[in-house]
């Protein structure tokens, strides 16, 4: 089976490539390297002991996509490529809409031209906006409060319209909760450019001495310790979710939507404690104001993925922290 992975050099994409290769699939990656480096793919091949094919292609370059699809007969596409920084999306919304939405339209048009109609799309728990209750099931109403979130929501809607227009499509919408952790080998992991936006890479950069202290965004939420609660999911469990989606759903036309989370929330303070325990490092932190746009609590009901994909998470919070720490301490400057 031959899979095209867009954005495969990135954080979740690289971990998914390892799983696909280890499952005996042939993998072709395209990435414009806007937020990644080709080194991640070299290491993916080292870990899996199998080769993959890489092309530095931007999804906005339609002609290159057409050429790629002429050269390869793909069975499915896993579509990770996109810009993902919420704050940046508020500053440069048009870049986000062009890159994420136009990129996806180019991809789907090219797929249709070449009769490739299976796509697994990286959606996000952000499409639930501020949920009225937790845990969150796939039926919850959707909303988006920033341009990044709107790109995810719009793309979900575009893909549903595509299916409605042509029932031969097989569309899988995977709504990720908060991906963290790294591959056990310590060779691949999350390598944010500049100051990390997300909690886990921030904590690990404080632990390794690159950053002085973590700002905890608010301790007055209505959560057990007042800090924000999220459903952190190990990136390897998430990657396996993609392989299971292909295993179970290939050939089954329709639009299939799944939450990928653990079903358990951890607060910011719990995350700090867990990381200190496994790393033996002290994480200095300071409580500051809430970050605008943040919600109090968010965690998944992933029962549907268990029932239909036979998927559940297997890596706990200690493993998420230990694997992040191995990656960060062995690669203090990421892939540089």
Q: Which span sits near ligand NAD by CB under 6 A: 25-33, 111-119, 216-224, 292-300?
A: 25-33
**Cross-strand bridge partners of residue 209:** none
Q: Which of 291, 304, 306, 308: binder of ligand WQD (CB under 6 A)?
A: 291
Based on the residue annotation, tell me whether 148 is a catalytic residue of this protein. Answer: yes
74 contact, one of ligand NAD, ligand WQD, none, CB 5-8 Å limit per kind = none
**Residues 274, 232 contacting (CB under 8 angstroms):** no
From the list ligand WQD, ligand NAD, none, partner contacted by residue 11 (C-beta under 5 to 8 A by kind)? ligand NAD
Instruction: Indicate which residue of 128, 148, 221, 258 is catalytic.
Output: 148
Cα distance between the two ends of the chain: 33
Measured from the Cβ of residue 139, the count of other Cβ atoms closer than 10 Å reads 8
Distance CA 169, CA 111 (A): 10
User: How do beta strands 178-180 and 170-176 pair?
Assistant: unpaired
Residues whose CB falls within 8 Å of the CB of residue 183, separated by 6 or more in sequence, listed in order:
15, 18, 47, 189, 235, 236, 323, 327
Q: Which two tokens stand for residue 261?
A: 């989370």
Closest distance between ligand WQD and the C-beta of residue 218, in Å? 7
CB of 280 to ligand NAD, least distance (A): 26
Q: Please report which residue ranges of the chain form alpha helices under DSSP H.
A: 11-22, 39-48, 62-71, 86-91, 93-96, 103-113, 147-165, 199-207, 235-249, 268-279, 303-309, 317-330
State the nearest-atom distance from the C-beta of 134 to ligand WQD, in Å. Answer: 13
- Over the window 177 to 216, marking each residue x when it contacts ligand NAD by CB under 6 A and - when it does not, the resulting string is -xx-------------------------------------
Interface pick for ligand WQD out of 178, 281, 302, 328 (rule CB under 6 A): 178
Partner whose footprint covers residue 32, from ligand WQD, ligand NAD, none (CB < 5 to 8 Å by kind): ligand NAD
**Minimum separation from the CB atom of position 219 to ligand WQD (A):** 9
DSSP-derived letter for residue 123 is E
Rounded Cα–Cα distance for residues 303 and 137 (Å)? 8
x-or-dash string of contact with ligand NAD, 63-102, rule CB under 6 A: -----------------xxxxx--------------x---
Q: Name 79's bridge partners.
A: 6, 121
CA distance 17 to 8: 7
Q: Give the residue, chosen from 21, 28, 59, 155, that forms a contact with ligand NAD under the rule CB under 6 A.
A: 59
Give contact residues for ligand NAD (rule: CB under 6 A): 7, 9-13, 31-36, 58-60, 80-84, 99, 103, 122, 124, 176, 178-179
């Amino acid at each position: 089976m031959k899979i095209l992975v867009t954005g495969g050099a990135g954080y979740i994409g690289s971990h998914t490539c390892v799983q696909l290769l280890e499952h005996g699939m042939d993998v072709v990656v395209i990435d414009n390297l806007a937020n990644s480096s080709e080194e991640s793919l070299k290491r993916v091949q080292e870990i899996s002991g199998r080769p993959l094919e890489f092309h530095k292609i931007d999804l906005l370059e339609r002609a290159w996509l057409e050429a790629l699809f002429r050269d390869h007969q793909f069975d499915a596409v896993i579509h990770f490529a996109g810009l993902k920084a919420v704050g940046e999306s508020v500053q440069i919304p048009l870049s986000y809409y062009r890159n994420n939405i136009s990129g996806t339209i180019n991809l789907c048009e090219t797929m249709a031209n070449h009769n490739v109609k299976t796509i697994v799309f990286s959606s996000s728990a952000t499409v639930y906006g501020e949920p009225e209750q937790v845990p969150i099931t796939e039926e919850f109403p959707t909303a988006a409060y920033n341009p990044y979130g709107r790109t995810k929501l719009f793309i979900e809607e575009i893909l549903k319209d595509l299916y409605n227009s042509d029932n031969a499509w097989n569309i899988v919408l995977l709504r990720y909760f908060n991906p963290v952790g790294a591959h056990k080998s310590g060779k691949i992991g999350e390598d944010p450019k500049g100051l990390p936006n997300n909690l886990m890479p921030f904590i690990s950069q404080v632990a390794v001495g690159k950053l002085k202290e973590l700002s905890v965004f608010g301790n007055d939420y209505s959560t057990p310790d007042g800090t924000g609660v999220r459903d952190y999911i190990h990136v390897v469990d998430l990657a396996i979710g993609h392989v299971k989606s292909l295993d179970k759903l290939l050939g089954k036309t329709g639009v299939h939507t799944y939450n990928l989370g653990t079903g358990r929330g951890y607060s910011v303070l719990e995350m700090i404690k867990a990381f200190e325990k496994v790393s033996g490092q002290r994480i200095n932190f300071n409580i500051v104001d809430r970050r605008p746009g943040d919600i109090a609590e968010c965690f998944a009901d992933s029962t549907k993925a268990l029932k239909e994909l036979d998927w559940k998470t297997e890596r706990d919070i200690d493993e998420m922290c230990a694997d992040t720490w191995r990656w960060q301490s062995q690669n203090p400057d990421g892939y540089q």
